[in-house]
Amino acid sequence: MDPRIRRVREADIKAVVELVHALAEYERMSDECTMTPAQLHAALFAPEPALFGHVAEVDGEIVGFTLWFLNFSTFHGAHGIYLEDLFVRPNHRGTGLGRALLTALAEECVTKGYSRLEWSVLDWNTPSIGFYESLGASPRDGWTVYRLTGDALTAAGKDA
């Protein structure tokens, strides 16, 4: 693994939350980003965590991160990694950190026998799309992501 890439530590929480908010600003979704350091800490460092992460560190500063969780392919009968977020500060882009973060996740997959590494990207984010395709990633044509949140999620949960 690239020496600048490592798993998130408890001391990194504040920096990662700041980067999550920077990602939300980049994605034009700042009004939707409400995560706090306490929430991230609880998710990453619970007795049996369901969220995992890596950071990119340069000269002692956290400048990039990934947050990810396991999914499962019923077709392959194996887990995979779903990359929830990847972000590198703009002044550190083009230095290989994004590639190194994705490489760390691919290594997790290979080492643990996971069958896939997947993520979503906004349609307008052509710099990221170009980067992902340069690594050999391909879009899943014919699939549309659906999501229940807020009032719709509450209403659907009341039917249970």
Count the neighbouring beta carbons within 10 Å of the beta carbon of residue 103.
15
Please indicate whether residue 132 is annotated as part of the active site: yes
Q: What percent of the chain is helix, strand and coil (3-state, nearest 5)?
A: 40, 25, 35
Q: What is the pTM of this model?
A: 0.91
Q: pLDDT tens digits, residue range 144-156?
A: 888 888 898 888 8
Q: Who wins on pLDDT, 160 or 130?
A: 130
Task: Say what the pLDDT of residue 101 is.
Answer: 97
Q: Which residues of 69-99 are buried (b: 16+ CB within 10 A; e: fewer)?
A: eeeeeeeeeebbbbbebbbbbeebeeeebbe
Indicate the angle between helix axes 37-44 and 13-26, nearest 10 degrees: 110
Task: Give the number of residues written for the chain.
Answer: 160
Q: Is the pLDDT of residue 9 over 80?
A: yes
Q: Is the pLDDT of residue 67 over 60?
A: yes
Catalytic annotation, pick one of 26, 82, 132, 146: 132
- The residue to which tokens 């990207």 are assigned: 121
Of 15, 93, 80, the residue nearest 54 (C-alpha): 15
Helix residue ranges, H only, 84-147: 97-112, 126-134
Q: What is the mean pLDDT of residues 115-121?
A: 94
